[in-house]
Structure 1
Amino acid sequence: MTIDTVIRRANLGDGRGPLDIAIAGTRIADIAPGIRCEAAEIDLGGRLALPGLVDTHVHLDKACLDDRCPCGGSLQEAVKSVSEAKKRFTEEDVYARAARALEMAIAHGTNRMRTHVEVDPRVGLTSLRALHRLKRDYAWAIDLQLCVFPQEGLLDDPGCDEVLVSALDLGADLVGGAPYIDDDSHGQIARIFDLAVERDLDVDLHLDFSLDAASLDVDEVCRQAERRGWGGRTAIGHVTKLSALPPERLDAYARRLAGAGVAVTVLPATDLFLMGRDATENVPRGVAPAHRLAREGVRCSAATNNLRNPFTPYGDGSLVRMANLFANVAQLAGEEDLAACLDLVTGSAARLMGLADYGIAVGGPATFVAFDAKDRADVVAGIVQPEIGFKDGRQSFHRPPARLNRPEAPHKD
């Protein structure tokens, strides 16, 4: 076996001290201290190496719309504003904006991503075609899953079901929905599961996106997942209603979700921006407590959701920043809790997406990123951005650290 590159002095965070990583082609050939061979070398100098950041829920097709859509309104206003903008989308426009957002994420260490793609009678398959191209063109840096879904309702949007089926025919990795938009939310959930089972696709739904916790569609999703045998293949995003539950009811839902094998993704930036807008004081955070769900065995992640559009008018694609934001919202501190926050955008997120090859191990993909941090908690506490990344044995990005230009010391006569 020919070794192409040796990564020197990587800290894998497992207490073994700095180790070398030998890369042959696209795979890791060996991990050991002081590997001897004639190959190109890159010295990490003891930096923390992780398999990479995993964004489980993002909308690349409507990223970077803040220059053409009004921002700062409610969820309903955001949906309406983007609905109008979608009528003028072209493949070239979607591709350019999505590429801008994707490159931000890559430069911040994300190398696996699930993007939700809107398909409906207004935009048709335009965005999906653009993102198929993007998935192919950026495979050198990131693995992209495409989840097609109707943002503006399915049953109550004439012609949308036909477009969704056409999107699945064109090719998608998952199918999703936004049941709270339709009057018959349970009907939409059943239809999405019908399509998933028929085509053997995982499900990822936008769900329970408000603070009125009188009733939740979580129950119906869990019931459908159990009835269809889709436990471990179903995820729900937002679920902001969970933030409005008293402890005993939240714990009951956590056990229900864990038992049904339904995963949860929280979207801190969007949920903070959109929830609680009618409150004049004691404004609720509106972010589902993923840390408490995870303690009951629910597979959880934190993700970006939107970048620079009416749903979230800011963002830079950094999942480390998102993990830190969640830690702030959940009021978490200490090494164990902060490391768990990083897990929401690394290991736990990878499990949610079913990534069997996630990890740094001999025989596995030579895909990882390196941080100038002592451990996982330090990454979150310091919002430390990765400095270098590799995808399948090839360096995919480099973010040199900032340097201070100190004045020269005055000369003494």
Structure 2
Amino acid sequence: MKLESLRIPPRLRGFGADEQAQLFDLTLAGDRVAAIVPSASQAHPRGTLLSALVEAHAHIDKNYTVQDVGAAEGDLFAAIARMDRHRAGWTGDGLRARMERALHDAWRSGTRALRTHIDWVQADAPAALAVFEALRSEWRDRIELQFVSLTPLDLFADLEAGERIARQVKRAGGTLGAFVYRNEGLLHKLGRVFDLAETHGLGLDFHVDEGLDADASGLRSIAQLMRAREFRRGVVCGHCCSLAMQDDAVAQETLALCAGAGIHIVALPTTNLYLQGAWDRTPVPRGITRIREAAARGLRASLATDNVQDAFYPYGSYDLLETFGLGVQMAHLAPAEDWLDAITVAPARALGLGWDGRIAPGCPADLVLLAATGEHELIGPRGRERTVIRAGRILEQTP
């Protein structure tokens, strides 16, 4: 298969090219990209080529439940309470139906890998884990699936419970996680999570500082612990909304710590726009972390979906290009083309995937060809029209 006269965003290029070349021809051979050369004509682009998309933060166990639980409208802890009540009635069949629906949506949109957080609120493994493990096997050739145990940080104060959780996460090949927000004894409890990760050889992925309280210091504490312990197994921190509320000097100090520790930040624009901010007036400030300031320190954040049609966010889908478009607008990520690594390369590296998503001869022919012929079409409906290519074959064309 040959693809001609395509834009490839510079941050997605894994090949050397004449600086004047902006359009490229690709030859696909089997399931690989065989060759990339500058197009003979540089005048008429036919589209924009991305590597297949990577979802760094989702919740496929609780999506599509908003009709049962209702929308929380700006109250994070009300949403948590509603899902706690609803979770008591979850069945294997119901979980599988919701989780498969999410995977089909993501697959159709061009996603090649997805990390989901699974609610894990007691020592015993949740029913969703067994369903996830079955789906991970069934979907192996379509979407690479990872999971994180989403556990209230306070539960790790129970040493036996924490040990049981870590052992089960290790057995199932997952990542250890916790919900961190202004907890009492924060450093002690976080230290316990790091102890378990070091003992069992686990990576870490936190929900951290998901609110607009300037005194929330979870992100800073995690970075300090990483550096003090020289923790090298990889740490992802999602949300980090409070960072935007802190004084510039404080925020910059925290980002410097994060850069030194090697933390990967994930911003979740849909859910945090919905949950953070007032509901009785125009909602300013808004719930987004300091993406641009992080990038200035070499921390290329990911943009991810988070919740879909549940109490936390009652709308949405698993189309990462929709998430990308919202993130571009709310965080002023311009030019937009320079930030497409937030749904491709950055999350691929954070999740430790075998391919980092940079397009080059020899890379997998897992690609998304957008109709957008320029940067200003990227987030419009026509520009988002796409052809999904997996293992060198066209999957489908989709609006």
TM over 0.5: yes
Which residue is equivalent to 1:140? Answer: 141
Which residue is equivalent to 1:339? Answer: 337
**Worse-matched range after superposition: 91-100 or 140-149:** 140-149
Whole-Å Cα distance in 1 between the matches of residues 369 and 282 of structure 2? Answer: 42
TM-aligned CA deviation for residue 300 of structure 1: 1.0
Cα 1:210–1:85 change in 2 (3 A) is: same
TM-aligned CA deviation for residue 103 of structure 1: 1.6
Cα 1:271–1:363 change in 2 (3 A) is: same
Which residue is equivalent to 2:292? Answer: 291
**Worse-matched range after superposition: 381-390 or 75-84:** 381-390
Which residue is equivalent to 1:48? Answer: 48
Listed as ranges, the matches of 1:183-332 within 5 Å are: 183-231=184-232, 233-277=234-278, 280=281, 283-332=284-333
Which residue is equivalent to 2:14? Answer: none
Listed as ranges, the matches of 1:68-217 within 5 Å are: 68-73=68-73, 74-121=75-122, 124-151=125-152, 153-155=154-156, 160-161=161-162, 163-180=164-181, 182-217=183-218
Structure 2 unmatched ranges of 5 or more? 11-20, 40-44
Q: Is the 8 A contact 2:117 2:147 kept in 1?
A: yes
Q: Which runs of 4+ in 1 moved over 4 A?
A: 156-160, 278-282
Whole-Å Cα distance in 1 between the matches of residues 90 and 285 of structure 2? Answer: 35
Which residue is equivalent to 1:354? Answer: 352
Per-residue CA deviations over 1:367-397 (Å, capped at 9, x if unaligned) read: 11110112456323668335222233344x3
Which residue is equivalent to 1:41? Answer: none
Which residue identity is paired with 1:224? L
Whole-Å Cα distance in 2 between the matches of residues 123 and 394 of structure 1? Answer: 42
Whole-Å Cα distance in 1 between the matches of residues 176 and 200 of structure 2? Answer: 10
Pairing 1:7–2:18 present:
no
Per-residue CA deviations over 1:217-255 (Å, capped at 9, x if unaligned) read: 222201221233335711111111011023232222222
TM-score (norm 1): 0.84
TM-aligned CA deviation for residue 10 of structure 1: 5.9
Aligned to 2:93, the other structure's residue is in SS state: helix
Q: Is the 8 A contact 1:155 1:182 kept in 2?
A: no
Which residue is equivalent to 2:57? Answer: 57
Which residue is equivalent to 1:411? Answer: none
Query: Between Structure 1 and Structure 2, whose CA radius of gyration is higher?
Result: 1
Q: Is the 8 A contact 1:272 1:285 kept in 2?
A: yes
Determine which of 7, 25, 48 is the counterpart of 1:19: 25
Whole-Å Cα distance in 1 between the matches of residues 298 and 47 of structure 2? Answer: 31
Aligned to 1:140, the other structure's residue is in SS state: coil
TM-aligned CA deviation for residue 163 of structure 1: 4.9
TM-aligned CA deviation for residue 63 of structure 1: 0.8
> CA RMSD for the aligned pairs?
2.7
How many pairs does the alignment contain?
A: 381
Q: Is the 8 A contact 1:18 1:46 kept in 2?
A: no
Q: Percent identity?
A: 26
Whole-Å Cα distance in 2 between the matches of residues 206 and 379 of structure 1? Answer: 29
Which residue identity is paired with 2:390? K
Per-residue CA deviations over 1:192-217 (Å, capped at 9, x if unaligned) read: 22222222222110111221112412
- Larger RCO (CA under 8 A, 6+ residues apart): 2
Which residue is equivalent to 1:389? Answer: 388
Cα 1:225–1:299 change in 2 (3 A) is: farther
Which residue identity is paired with 1:349? P
Cα 1:294–1:152 change in 2 (3 A) is: same
Whole-Å Cα distance in 1 between the matches of residues 284 and 358 of structure 2? Answer: 40
TM-aligned CA deviation for residue 30 of structure 1: 3.6
TM-score (norm 2): 0.86
Which residue is equivalent to 1:378? Answer: 377
Whole-Å Cα distance in 1 between the matches of residues 351 and 88 of structure 2? Answer: 31
Whole-Å Cα distance in 1 between the matches of residues 376 and 360 of structure 2? Answer: 22
**Worse-matched range after superposition: 210-219 or 163-172:** 163-172
Whole-Å Cα distance in 2 between the matches of residues 146 and 377 of structure 1? Answer: 35
